[in-house]
Structure 1
């Protein structure tokens, strides 16, 4: 039988997870850049709401108008619009926290995840939202990011991300009631489709990451036959 040289012995402690390794899977690789992006996006929301107050027109009519052809463009603009300052204030902290944590895999990955949530949430509202009603607000994004953060650890098999999900669930579990109908003036449709999009985005991105990992992994030679 043919023999091959033994595989190199891994360094001591190589099989254990260190705090630094866990942090890499939980926090953005560049926290300052991630904070800048999260704050910048939130600032845009405030500037848009300020413009809505100052300008004579009603920017909220740029939201999603369900099942109307001229309401399709609202899918692009609705997350940037809010029905008053109180609506925006209620979305500010979730948008800041969830968008920042969702950048753990990098800003590029966050852009992909956000685009999926943005489009799916908007299309869902357009399909099943209340008739003759404009739907606006970034809460669909917030629910999408939260759902993404809650399930990505399961798809990635990351203990650190699962622990973060447990903490988020403990702090923000009350938000999950927003997935159910019954509260007048609240778009549970946007919340629900945003959350479904977040789960889909977590599955899709983790699937691509595992595929890249398989391609990058070197083949381990085995014993050759006689």
Structure 2
């Protein structure tokens, strides 16, 4: 029980630290009357390259940040809890992949916010659970679908608002899907149903020869010459 509680707490460390940084930057931006939008991605221009790394840290308003807080924490926690040994690599790959794809396909303008990371995490958790065919991970896939299935519509320009970076959402989804395929052989796997079965040991070399030698000498193996054959009647073991 203590181990489970410790694991739950450890999985929340990085998501909480990330949220602390996001809120700290927003407080500084508002309190100091700064403008951090230029830390975002500006597609296909040199000034927007740094945003590939920094764009998830900046949000346009408190409403924007608050809307991303709960899904970012929950999905990040799921990643670090269920995929704890490879979570850092996946998170970093989604972060950079989302920014890189946005830089390539985004419309002119500053793209900011952690929404792309949220899409990346959601798509990774969904497809990874389905591909691994492991019951706990499939359950997470279904939960993500139930909670955040409606996010899909904001990946397309026909349904997203004009001020919404649907390219960032789509980029995150692409990055998350690629990660689910690239890391499929790592981390938690479906247990082998035959792993616990005991293997029957092979007969040692020479056993058959010794039996044949006994038969040729007129003595059945395991029975002393001149002894009466006894049949032991008892309770037989039943396979469990």
| TM-score interval, smaller chain | 0.7 to 0.9
Consecutive unaligned residues of structure 2, counting only runs of 5 or more, are 206-240
Other structure's SS at 1:206 match: coil
Consecutive unaligned residues of structure 1, counting only runs of 5 or more, are 1-19
Q: Does 1:54 align with 2:24?
A: no
Instruction: Point out which structure has higher relative CO (alpha carbons under 8 A, 6+ apart).
Output: 1
Contact 1:29–1:106, Cα closer than 8 Å, also in 2: no
Give the equivalent residue in structure 1 for 2:72.
Answer: 95
Aligned mate of 2:154, from 178, 183, 186:
178
Give the equivalent residue in structure 1 for 2:113.
Answer: 137
The 3 A distance-change label for structure 1 pair 29 and 196 is farther
Give the equivalent residue in structure 2 for 1:149.
Answer: 125
Whole-Å separation in 2 of the counterparts to 1:167 and 1:125: 27
Normalising by structure 1, report the TM-score.
0.77
Aligned mate of 2:171, from 187, 193, 199:
193
Contact 1:28–1:34, Cα closer than 8 Å, also in 2: no
> Which of these two proteins has the greater Rg computed from alpha carbons?
2
Aligned mate of 1:206, from 167, 177, 184:
184
**How much is the aligned-residue C-alpha RMSD, in angstroms?**
2.8
Count of aligned pairs: 196
Whole-Å separation in 1 of the counterparts to 2:16 and 2:181: 27
Whole-Å separation in 1 of the counterparts to 2:171 and 2:63: 23
For each residue in 1:57-97, what CA deviation from the matched residue of structure 2 results, as whole angstroms up to 9, or x when unmatched? 31111110111012101111100000011110110111011
The 3 A distance-change label for structure 1 pair 221 and 57 is farther
Give the equivalent residue in structure 2 for 1:38.
Answer: 15
